[in-house]
Amino acid sequence: MIKWIVRASAMTHYWTEFEKGKLTYDEAIAAFVSTDPEIKDELFKACDSVSGIMGKYDYTEGWIGPLKEAGYKLLMSRYDLKAEECVFIDDTEENVRSAEALGMAGIVFTGYEDAAGKLAVMCGEK
pLDDT by 10s per residue, the chain, length 126: 888 998 999 889 898 888 777 888 899 999 999 999 999 999 999 888 876 555 555 666 676 667 677 776 677 877 888 999 889 988 888 889 989 999 999 999 888 889 889 988 888 876
DSSP for the chain reads -HHHHHHHTTTSHHHHHHHTTSS-HHHHHHHHHHH-GGGHHHHHHHHHHTTTTS---GGGTT-HHHHHHTT--HHHHHTT--GGG-EEEES-HHHHHHHHHTT-EEEE-S-HHHHHHHHHHHTT--
Q: Compute the radius of gyration of the chain from its Cα atoms.
A: 17
pLDDT for the residue numbered 60: 60
pLDDT for the residue numbered 55: 53
**What is the Cα–Cα distance from 41 to 88, expressed in whole angstroms?**
34
Q: CA 36 from chain center: how many Å?
A: 20
pLDDT for the residue numbered 27: 93
